[in-house]
Structure 1
Amino acid sequence: MTNRGDIARTSIVTISSALYKLIRNEISQPDFYLGPSLGQVNAIHCSGSLDFTDTVKMIQAMCLMEAEEKRNKGNGVYFFYNIDTEVLDDHITELRNKGCTLEPCMYGTSNQMIVNGDTKSLEELSSKISPLGGLGITIPYGPPGHCSLLQSVKERFENEFMPMIKPVNPIKPLVSNVTATPLYTGKEIANELVNQYTKPVQWYQSLKFLAENNVQKLIVVGPGNFVAKSLQFTDIDFEVESYLVAEEINKICTRSSSSSIGG
């Protein structure tokens, strides 16, 4: 039951938002907000663009519409790593030309990618890149995301849900999952929420944008360690500070209390 999208995704954002609220007065004001996929929804909330109530309602609406999408049935996602993403893209194109159902979901690093498709196509892609040293593993309970399979969901979400909310300008720019460029206005963020449905997440390009803009330190907030671990394999040298569990939050709160007492 806990693996059901509406429960898991709302829980992740709730926990991430709570963690950020605990540490936001103890860290420097971020220059940018960003996150991959669901992390982007949380980043939008933390940036002040969307309040918590609307954020949770939006996630629930997304989960409901995606669950009702018939094209999702029988499709899933694989995480591919240790393979150059350009090489992986070439194999995806080759197999699609042969009738396979495959589309990039997220470009994680220069050698990591999440790919959508049906089980047979994903297994065939995995066998293609295996002799090159690449590995592909299934992501349990992972429905397709950020691809053309969700075109009808995108249209429903835009027409049925988006008129119910109005994102405001963020405190600091949000880096787009779709274009890896900064978003400054509520209108741009509203467009981001709609367009991300059918476009792959440009996480690696977003990281390169940060590096090009002299960002040296990333603060990762939220349960799970996918983002924190993937950053260990990127070729961009960031300082990474993670707040993923209560123990890590307690450390920063203890430091803060000690400083106050000492002062």
Structure 2
Amino acid sequence: MVQIVASQLMYLFPGVGSHHSGMGKTLYEQFPLVQDLFTEASDILHRDIAALCFSSAHAEDLNYLENSQAALLCVSVATYRVLVAETGLEQALYLGYSLGEYSALCCAGALAFKDALQLVWNRGIIVSEVAKTVDGSMVWVVNVAERKVEEICQQLRQEGESVSISAYDSPQKVSISGTRAALRKAGERIVAAGGIPIPIKMSGPFHSPLMSDAAARFRDLLHTYSYASPRFPVISNYTAQLYQSGDDIPANLQLQLVQPIRWQASLELARSLGVTTSVEIGPKNVLTYLLEKNEFHITTYELNTTEQLQKIKASSVAQSRDYPAFLAKCLTLIVGTKNYNEDVHMYETIVIPNFRKIEATYMAVQAGNLMPDEQLYAHTLTLLTDALRAKKLKESDIHARLQRLG
């Protein structure tokens, strides 16, 4: 049986395109916490999110961008909360595709659910309004190297056309965005180069400079919300690097609208960080498919049904964890990690208390006075992570240390 090791785990959150009528329904029917979150979302947006997701009468409404974005975020966050409630597995690398980045940030504790929901709802409205003013769209390009596609786009821009790569999905799959005239010309040259252009229906020229007006409008909205440093490592679509603090979030989310999704580079970072297992949280399996296309050969799970949840639970690391050894390693990490923070107050109010809490847990487990479980494991990881952050350790270094815990 394959076991999920939390420090080698990656959570993948899908973007628009993975949404469909009926998504999340089996978990909604099974878990009250999903029903509660749907009710909360409905109260925030003043519309019935359950009906939007499950009713065939609203299938067309679900394709409006503001609806699909809000519904998909709600389903993804609800699915994640079920996973954590049932397994205790929180410590992971978090990565979302486009809209999925909001789900990742929300689940990692950087963005409140209410704020994330309102942001993606308004993002959908703004992007749709701007897209209507531009005669543009998106096209998938497969079976040709990204460098050749870059060359074609650059040639067309030199000829006065507006077209650029909008997502680097894998070595043989990218998407391009531009005006329809530019996309037609690009398509002809892509075919001549042996590639296959596939128009994306009901799309605008997303993740490209043609969305500059949307990015400008969205920037003002982004700065009206609050952001925290993620509790767990999250990769940015724009930089393909880990977020270092909550201060980076607004600018990255704004730039995501006009810059390409660097998915291939994000997966390379995940590979370098030692990820061995992924869970795609939400409908469909698009991101699991992209793992294969990037030759990222790891153990993969999908989570959208109770059956899939049971499969993950059967592989949970909780079945064979050496808790005393784990707790001892946590204590050693805190003591053995250099402090880069000159703020004595932060050290005294975070590092020392967190160390003492883990120490007390270790002594209780050793004495047989406390039965450890996945909830305790997750709580201990949070205490450890907060202590390392209080020492001003880089997020990449924190993740590397957590990975070594096993």
TM-score (norm 1): 0.89
CA RMSD between the two structures: 2.1
Question: 8 Å contact 1:72–1:144 — kept in the other structure?
Answer: no
Paired with 1:154 and 1:131, the residues of 2 have a C-alpha distance of: 34
Q: What residue in structure 2 maps to residue 86 of structure 1?
A: 147
Spell out the pairing of 1:99-118 with structure 2 (5 A cutoff): 99-118=160-179
Q: What residue in structure 1 maps to residue 113 of structure 2?
A: 52
Q: CA deviation at 1:53?
A: 0.9
The yes-or-no answer on 1:194 pairing with 2:254 is: yes
Q: What residue in structure 1 maps to residue 231 of structure 2?
A: 171
Q: CA deviation at 1:245?
A: 4.1
Identity of aligned residues (%): 22
Q: What residue in structure 2 maps to residue 11 of structure 1?
A: 71
Q: What residue in structure 1 maps to residue 187 of structure 2?
A: 126
Which has the higher mean CA deviation after the structures are superposed, 124-133 or 167-176?
A: 124-133
Paired with 2:133 and 2:152, the residues of 1 have a C-alpha distance of: 23
Paired with 1:166 and 1:239, the residues of 2 have a C-alpha distance of: 35
Question: 8 Å contact 2:170–2:294 — kept in the other structure?
Answer: yes
When the two structures are aligned, how many residues end up with a matched partner?
256
Aligned partner (choices 274, 299, 304) of residue 239 of structure 1: 299
Paired with 2:170 and 2:287, the residues of 1 have a C-alpha distance of: 11
Matching residue's letter, 1:156: R
Matching residue's letter, 1:113: V
- Structure 1 regions of 5+ residues with no counterpart? none
The yes-or-no answer on 1:95 pairing with 2:186 is: no
Deviations 1:64-108 (A, max 9, x none): 212222675321111111211111111111122222221111110
Deviations 1:16-58 (A, max 9, x none): 1111111124264343211121111111111111111111100
- Structure 2 regions of 5+ residues with no counterpart? 1-60, 320-406
**Cα distance change, pair 225–142 in 1 and its aligned pair in 2 (3 A):** farther
Spell out the pairing of 1:251-262 with structure 2 (5 A cutoff): 251-252=311-312
Aligned partner (choices 191, 215, 224) of residue 284 of structure 2: 224
**Cα distance change, pair 88–63 in 1 and its aligned pair in 2 (3 A):** same
Which has the higher mean CA deviation after the structures are superposed, 246-255 or 84-93?
A: 246-255
Question: 8 Å contact 1:225–1:244 — kept in the other structure?
Answer: no
Paired with 1:8 and 1:47, the residues of 2 have a C-alpha distance of: 21
Q: What SS does the corresponding residue of 1:171 show, helix, strand or coil?
A: coil
Q: What residue in structure 2 maps to residue 205 of structure 1?
A: 265
**Cα distance change, pair 255–218 in 1 and its aligned pair in 2 (3 A):** closer
Q: CA deviation at 1:236?
A: 2.9
Q: What residue in structure 1 maps to residue 366 of structure 2?
A: none
Which has the higher mean CA deviation after the structures are superposed, 233-242 or 10-19?
A: 233-242
Spell out the pairing of 1:19-58 with structure 2 (5 A cutoff): 19-25=79-85, 26=87, 28-58=89-119
Q: CA deviation at 1:247?
A: 4.0
Which has the higher mean CA deviation after the structures are superposed, 96-105 or 57-66?
A: 96-105
Paired with 1:45 and 1:196, the residues of 2 have a C-alpha distance of: 17
Paired with 2:106 and 2:299, the residues of 1 have a C-alpha distance of: 24
Matching residue's letter, 1:177: N
Q: What residue in structure 1 maps to residue 136 of structure 2?
A: 75
Paired with 1:244 and 1:108, the residues of 2 have a C-alpha distance of: 23
Paired with 1:70 and 1:221, the residues of 2 have a C-alpha distance of: 29
The yes-or-no answer on 1:135 pairing with 2:196 is: yes
Which has the higher mean CA deviation after the structures are superposed, 144-153 or 124-133?
A: 124-133
Q: CA deviation at 1:240?
A: 2.0
Q: Pick the structure with greater CA Rg.
A: 2
Paired with 1:147 and 1:80, the residues of 2 have a C-alpha distance of: 16
Counting helix residues as a fraction of each chain, which structure ranks higher?
A: 2
Paired with 1:72 and 1:247, the residues of 2 have a C-alpha distance of: 45
Paired with 2:193 and 2:143, the residues of 1 have a C-alpha distance of: 9
Q: What SS does the corresponding residue of 1:34 show, helix, strand or coil?
A: strand
**Cα distance change, pair 124–90 in 1 and its aligned pair in 2 (3 A):** same
Q: What residue in structure 2 maps to residue 156 of structure 1?
A: 217
Paired with 2:76 and 2:141, the residues of 1 have a C-alpha distance of: 26
Q: What SS does the corresponding residue of 1:199 show, helix, strand or coil?
A: coil
Deviations 1:177-228 (A, max 9, x none): 1111111311112222122122111110011111112222222111133212
Question: 8 Å contact 2:240–2:265 — kept in the other structure?
Answer: yes
Q: What SS does the corresponding residue of 1:113 show, helix, strand or coil?
A: strand
**Cα distance change, pair 251–213 in 1 and its aligned pair in 2 (3 A):** closer
Paired with 1:32 and 1:255, the residues of 2 have a C-alpha distance of: 18
Paired with 1:142 and 1:53, the residues of 2 have a C-alpha distance of: 26
Counting strand residues as a fraction of each chain, which structure ranks higher?
A: 1
